[in-house]
């Protein structure tokens, strides 16, 4: 199947067709009724609006010197009252139309935004590793705002204006002759053509402005998310320079956009003045020849001004609609982004089971020219612990990502309780697998929320019990706000060990049948690591556990240890058996043991030196006294 070209420009008509189903939602009779009622109110409002100049013109005629005295006292009053009523009704019906349609507009915006959000979560890890968070959030924000602009301007400005132009042309043709309608329509046609052509030309500046704005926003967010790194390297000036470079490009694009807008507005005003002059000359000739009254002259002038007032904003309206459609299309393009990892058609949920895990000749490559796993095979019986170790880049963490279906294997098969994981739903698979990662990222919310994230419907008692098993309960109680303590952006208010305990607690709460410990303690100090290991033993008890580790001291108790090197299994066995083999595992164990011993010696020497300095200082103090 050929993959669609997501970068190809779609027409604005296609974008509007994508929006249409949200404005006529299936199974929503109330919203459909609102659409129909709002369209009827639109017609009534414009009908009242075109009657306003008629009442005004007849009042002018009746007030002319040729009118009778009785008419002067009675008829103009009635016409003026009719004029006021028509003008009021025009505004009232227009506001009612907006009020009725508002819920349809709000619902469409909500449904599209939710659909985009859900789709982004359904996309693969590869997509999210490539994306830029700041630019993506700005794209969605502009897309949602674009929907509001398009609906406001199209339904409440362009369509009503077009309807009014048609009604006025019919009235002028019927009351006078075709020349008045022709001049009106030709002027508007030239005006619209000029506006569309000029706006299309200047759209390049708007696009450049959007691109530079997105780049500047991405750089700002990226810099702020890495606040500590910026400080570590004293790179505030460097970050400001990068940000200012993007802002400078935005400044240039914005200036070009505004100058071209001035040219557009000037051209529009010239065209309006020309059209208005021609039609007023025709009306003046009609009055002089006796074919038209003074009131008719006023009528024609009033109609033209009434038409050109909304047309005066057509440049702005078209520009905003064009931009809104462009922003909407960028957001709809996200919805057309293919899901790399998708459930098989009619895939069932993973049935309950003990959690036996099997990798059978698994091969995987992030890119065709970069093979990561080269035929990995192993089994983890239900309730047992398998450890995977090896040097950096051997493919250890890739195994956990494949099991969680962040990626699909390029060869071989992974099964849970005998079921191929590509043939069951991702949701049910991920319900069965729990992960305690090396880099624990917490939400900027309370400790309670972050623990409950493992199972959002958990009770308070269940949350506390999970916290106790993860040895997090005591330190939480020492905090002034307890479980209501805010953890900060990405959990930065907590130490590494505290974050890991919270991660373990939420995994306990999830209660998965398969547990993955992906370098869960490699970033911690030895003492904290030992404390975390105790909590992990409780979590892993009676669960199928896959331990991916760099520190070999954490895998000594595993039922089997797999040694990976360059994407292949080079050794396997228990800790004792692998040490006895004297292979890669034994070499890694020896290096780490020597490093730990050296660190202990250094720590002891530092402590002794501190003690000696303390004793010397005490002796000097005693001598001084």
pLDDT of residue 329: 83
Q: Following CA atoms 578, 583, 584, 587 in sequence, which dihedral angle do they give, to the nearest 10 degrees?
A: 90
Q: Do 120 and 188 share a domain, yes or no?
A: yes
How far is the C-alpha of 449 from the C-alpha of 463, rounded, in Å? 9
SS (H, E, C) 46-114: HHHHHHHHHHHHHHHHHCCCCCCHHHHHHHHHHHHHHHHHHHHHHHHHHHHHHHHHHHHHHHHHHHHHH
Q: Do 365 and 331 share a domain, yes or no?
A: no
DSSP assignment letter at 6: T
What is residue 441's three-state secondary structure?
coil
Q: Do 498 and 618 share a domain, yes or no?
A: no
How far is the C-alpha of 144 from the C-alpha of 462, rounded, in Å? 39
pLDDT of residue 228: 78
pLDDT of residue 124: 67
DSSP assignment letter at 480: T
Unique residue bearing structure tokens 């030992």: 530
pLDDT in tens, 553-606: 778 888 899 988 888 888 899 888 888 888 888 888 888 787 767 766 776 666
What is residue 407's three-state secondary structure?
coil
Determine, yes or no, domain membership for 247.
yes
pLDDT of residue 6: 42
Among candidate residues 335, 366, 387, the one where a domain is terminated: 335
Q: Do 411 and 393 share a domain, yes or no?
A: yes
Burial 108-139 (b: 16+ CB within 10 A, else e): bbeebbeebeeebeebbeebeeeebebbeebb
Residue 620: Cβ-neighbour burial (10 angstroms; 0-12, 13-18, 19+): exposed
Burial 292-322 (b: 16+ CB within 10 A, else e): bbbbbbbbbbbbbeebbebbbebbbbbbbbb
Range(s) of the domain holding residue 368: 357-581
CATH number at 184 reads 1.20.1560.10
And the tokens for 20? Answer: 């249409």
The answer to whether residues 315 and 347 touch, using CB atoms and an 8 Å cutoff, is no
pLDDT of residue 73: 45
User: Given strand 560-565, what is the order of strands in its sheet?
Assistant: 433-436, 514-518, 544-548, 385-389, 560-565, 568-573
Q: Do 437 and 298 share a domain, yes or no?
A: no
Paired sense of beta strands 419-420 and 357-367, if any = unpaired
Residues of the chain with pLDDT under 50: 1-9, 67-73, 625
DSSP assignment letter at 373: E
How far is the C-alpha of 227 from the C-alpha of 204, rounded, in Å? 35
pLDDT of residue 609: 64
Residue 222: Cβ-neighbour burial (10 angstroms; 0-12, 13-18, 19+): middle
DSSP assignment letter at 424: S
pLDDT of residue 420: 92
Determine, yes or no, domain membership for 116.
yes
Q: Following CA atoms 584, 585, 590, 591 in sequence, which dihedral angle do they give, to the nearest 10 degrees?
A: 70
Q: Do 198 and 303 share a domain, yes or no?
A: yes
Straight-line distance from the first to the last Cα atom of the chain, in angstroms, rounded to the nearest whole number: 91
Q: Do 325 and 458 share a domain, yes or no?
A: no
Determine, yes or no, domain membership for 24.
yes
Residue 275: Cβ-neighbour burial (10 angstroms; 0-12, 13-18, 19+): buried
CATH number at 418 reads 3.40.50.300
Determine, yes or no, domain membership for 179.
yes
How far is the C-alpha of 461 from the C-alpha of 232, rounded, in Å? 42
Among candidate residues 335, 369, 389, the one where a domain is terminated: 335
pLDDT of residue 522: 58
The answer to whether residues 395 and 564 touch, using CB atoms and an 8 Å cutoff, is yes
Task: Give kind and range of the element (H or E) at residue 387.
Answer: strand 385-389
In whole angstroms, what separates CA 434 from the centre of its chain? Answer: 26
pLDDT of residue 70: 45
Residue 70: CB atoms within 10 Å: 8
Q: Do 187 and 228 share a domain, yes or no?
A: yes
Among candidate residues 272, 303, 335, the one where a domain is terminated: 335
Write the DSSP assignment of 314-357 as a string of letters.
HHHHHHHHHHHHHHHHHHHHHHTS--SS-PPTTPPPPPP----E
Give the C-alpha distances (Å, rounded to integers) separating 192 from 295, 353, 473: 29, 68, 69
User: Given strand 357-367, what is the order of strands in its sheet?
Assistant: 370-380, 357-367, 411-416, 419-420
Nearest to 310 by CA among 15, 605, 46, 23: 46
Determine, yes or no, domain membership for 345.
no
Unique residue bearing structure tokens 């609102």: 34
DSSP assignment letter at 208: H
Determine, yes or no, domain membership for 347.
no
And the tokens for 374? Answer: 């080269």
Determine, yes or no, domain membership for 5.
no
Q: Do 55 and 134 share a domain, yes or no?
A: yes
Q: Do 96 and 231 share a domain, yes or no?
A: yes
Number of domains in the chain: 3
Q: Do 389 and 516 share a domain, yes or no?
A: yes
> What percent helix, strand, coil does the chain show, rounded to 5?
70, 10, 20
Unique residue bearing structure tokens 């507009």: 105
Determine, yes or no, domain membership for 260.
yes
Q: Do 577 and 589 share a domain, yes or no?
A: no
pLDDT of residue 419: 92
pLDDT in tens, 349-396: 999 988 899 999 999 988 777 788 888 999 999 888 888 988 877 788
């Amino acid at each position: 199947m050929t993959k669609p070209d997501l970068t190809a420009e779609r027409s604005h008509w296609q974008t509007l067709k994508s929006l249409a189903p949200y404005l006529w939602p299936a199974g929503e009779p109330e919203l459909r009724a609102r659409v129909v009622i709002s369209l009827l109110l639109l017609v009534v409002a414009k009908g009242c609006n075109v009657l306003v100049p008629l009442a005004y013109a007849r009042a002018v005629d009746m007030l002319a010197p040729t009118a009778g005295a009785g008419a002067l006292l009675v008829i103009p009053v009635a016409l003026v009252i009719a004029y006021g009523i028509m003008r009021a009704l025009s505004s009232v019906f227009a506001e009612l139309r907006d009020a009725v349609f508002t819920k349809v507009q709000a619902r469409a915006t909500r449904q599209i935004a939710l659909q985009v959000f859900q789709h982004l979560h359904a996309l693969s890890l590869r997509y999210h590793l490539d994306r830029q968070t700041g630019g993506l959030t700005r794209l969605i924000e502009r897309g949602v705002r674009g929907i509001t602009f398009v609906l406001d301007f199209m339904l409440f400005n362009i369509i009503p204006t077009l309807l009014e132009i048609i009604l006025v042309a019919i009235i002028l043709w019927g009351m006078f002759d075709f020349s008045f309608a022709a001049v009106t329509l030709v002027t508007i046609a030239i005006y619209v053509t000029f506006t569309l052509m000029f706006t299309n030309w200047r759209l390049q500046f708007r696009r450049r402005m959007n691109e530079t704005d997105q780049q500047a926003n991405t750089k700002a967010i990226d810099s702020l998310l890495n606040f500590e790194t910026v400080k570590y390297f004293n790179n505030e000036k460097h970050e400001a320079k990068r940000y200012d470079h993007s802002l400078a490009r935005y400044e240039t694009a914005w200036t070009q956009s505004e100058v071209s807008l001035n040219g557009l507005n000037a051209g529009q005003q010239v065209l309006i003045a020309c059209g208005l002059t021609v039609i007023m000359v025709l009306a003046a000739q009609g009055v002089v020849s006796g074919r038209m009254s003074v009131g008719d002259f006023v009528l024609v002038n009033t109609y033209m001004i009434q038409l050109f007032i909304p047309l005066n904003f057509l440049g702005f309206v078209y520009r905003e609609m064009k931009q809104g459609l462009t922003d909407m299309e960028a957001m709809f393009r996200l919805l057309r982004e293919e899901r790399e990892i998708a459930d098989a058609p009619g895939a069932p949920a993973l049935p309950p089971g003990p959690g036996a895990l099997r990798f059978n000749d698994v091969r995987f490559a992030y890119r065709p020219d970069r093979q990561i796993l080269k035929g990995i095979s192993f089994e983890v019986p239900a309730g047992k612990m398998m450890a995977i170790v090896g040097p950096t880049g051997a493919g250890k963490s890739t195994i956990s990502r494949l099991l969680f279906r962040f990626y699909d294997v390029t060869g071989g098969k992974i099964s849970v309780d005998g079921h191929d994981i590509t043939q069951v739903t991702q949701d049910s698979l991920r319900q069965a697998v729990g992960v305690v990662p090396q880099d624990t990222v917490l939400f900027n919310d309370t400790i309670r929320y972050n623990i409950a994230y493992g199972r959002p419907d958990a009770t308070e008692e269940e949350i506390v019990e999970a916290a106790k098993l993860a040895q997090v309960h005591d330190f939480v109680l020492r905090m002034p706000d307890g479980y209501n303590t805010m953890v900060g952006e990405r959990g930065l208010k907590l130490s590494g060990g505290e974050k890991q305990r919270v991660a373990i607690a939420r995994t306990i709460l999830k209660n998965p049948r398969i547990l993955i410990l992906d370098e869960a303690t490699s970033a911690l100090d030895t003492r904290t690591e030992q404390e975390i290991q105790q909590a992990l033993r409780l979590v892993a008890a009676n669960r199928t556990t896959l331990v991916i580790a760099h520190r070999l001291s954490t895998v000594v108790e595993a039922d089997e240890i797999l040694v990976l090197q360059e994407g292949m299994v080079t050794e396997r066995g228990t800790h004792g058996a692998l040490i006895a083999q004297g292979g890669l595992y034994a070499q890694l164990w020896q290096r780490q043991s020597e490093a730990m011993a050296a660190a202990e010696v250094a720590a002891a020497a530092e402590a002794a030196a501190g003690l000696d300095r303390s004793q010397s200082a005490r002796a000097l103090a005693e001598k001084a006294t």
